[in-house]
Amino acid sequence: MKNFCLVLREKDEMKLEERPLPEPKAGEVQLSIRSVGICGSDVSYLRKMAIGDFIVKKPMILGHEASGIVTKLGPGVQNLKVGDRVAVEPGVPCKACQFCKIGRYNLCKDVVFLATPPVDGCIANFHCHASDFCYNLPDNVSLEEGALIEPLSVGVHACKRAGVTFGDSVQICGAGAIGLVSMLVAKSMGAAKICVTDIAVDRLKRAKQMGATHTLLIKEKDPKKVAELIKEKIGEPRVTIECSGAESSIQTAIYATKSGGTVVLVGMGPAQVNIPILDAAIREVDIRGIFRYANTYREAIEMVARGDLDVKQLVTHRFQMEESQNAFDSFGKEGVLKVVINCESRS
């Protein structure tokens, strides 16, 4: 069997390269990778060779939103069998530090996360991964949906950090893939009113189609005035989930949120931004960050299996592995939301 991988070589240069078939170590399984979603981080590494302190210094396989079929078991694996269809949780922590022991393993300093330098990703025919971070997919959940469990988990973690509950009014800033999965999760958790804001008409149209009760096209530059427009639509949101990372949007999130409410910062923007901290302090608006997710995969898979939400509608474009350049070139264009690459081996 051949193992072709999508390798980032230099800035704006990636190639399909054949590499040796990986063999699973103790506690690992070998996977025939089937679907991989392209994330903004993959695109950033391609275009900039870095994200913050994470710098690509040697060739790296891209991709971390994945699903696959178990093809071989490493020593000691008992939770999976050959032929199992699984969603891959890309971050494997040390399992021994204080954060791992209390269940907040996403904060582990030694987490090994796919396609984060110097760790290879999984846009490949075959990949080996820790078996306890591979999750069985029910028969009614497709492998493509399995790849979308990763971005969906971000939405689950954001809504849990926000404490979204029945009857809530929720503001979602940013109608990209993460904003929309956060919207889907908030709706499934019982939110009564959800307003989604963005600067792109086509994204807001999709948000409405996917279940947003209200949308707002951002034209006004003053964050306070934008906050008032939001309040006119859904009242004061008790929860705001900020998914753009833009300074003005973070400011809007704080101004719009109800006193005593919660703002969750999901979007990764500049390292430092100016925010109306006094406004948040005197109104007891909680500001919470999230970093990826923890303990969300099984819950996210169950949501999809029960039909609580439909992640398939996120996918707008599909490509074969040989078309990876076209897949990456399409990212960010009008009408493109989530791009998925089929990595099934044809050898």
Q: Do domains 4-148+311-342 and 153-289 have the same CATH topology?
A: no
pTM summary value: 0.96
Q: What is the pLDDT along the chain (347 residues), one digit of tens a residue?
A: 899 999 999 999 999 999 999 999 999 999 999 999 999 999 999 999 999 889 999 999 999 999 999 999 999 999 999 999 999 999 999 999 999 999 999 999 999 999 999 999 999 999 999 999 999 999 999 999 999 999 999 999 999 999 999 999 999 999 999 999 999 999 999 999 999 999 999 999 999 999 999 999 999 999 999 999 999 999 999 999 999 999 999 999 999 999 999 999 999 888 899 999 999 999 999 999 999 999 999 999 999 999 999 999 999 999 999 999 999 999 989 899 999 999 998 76
CATH class (in words) of the domain with range 4-148+311-342: alpha beta
What's the one-letter identity of residue 134?
C
From its phi and psi, is residue 267 left (phi > 0), alpha (psi between -120 and 50) or beta?
beta
pLDDT score for 246: 96
- In the chain, what are the domain boundaries? 4-148+311-342, 153-289
Burial of 111 (0-12, 13-18, 19+ CB in 10 A): buried
Strands (E), the chain: 4-10, 13-18, 28-37, 50-51, 54-55, 60-61, 65-73, 85-88, 91-92, 112-113, 126-130, 134-136, 169-173, 193-198, 214-217, 239-242, 262-265, 286-289, 315-320, 338-342
Answer whether 315's CB lies under 8 Å from 337's CB: yes
State how far the Cα of 254 lies from the Cα of 278, in Å rounded to an integer: 10
- Beta pairing partners, 87: 67, 135
- The total number of residues shown for the chain amounts to 347
pLDDT score for 347: 66
What's the one-letter identity of residue 285?
V
The token duo for 74 is 């490493």
The token duo for 208 is 């409405």
Burial of 123 (0-12, 13-18, 19+ CB in 10 A): buried
What's the one-letter identity of residue 245?
G
- Domain at 153-289: CATH architecture: 3-Layer(aba) Sandwich (3.40)
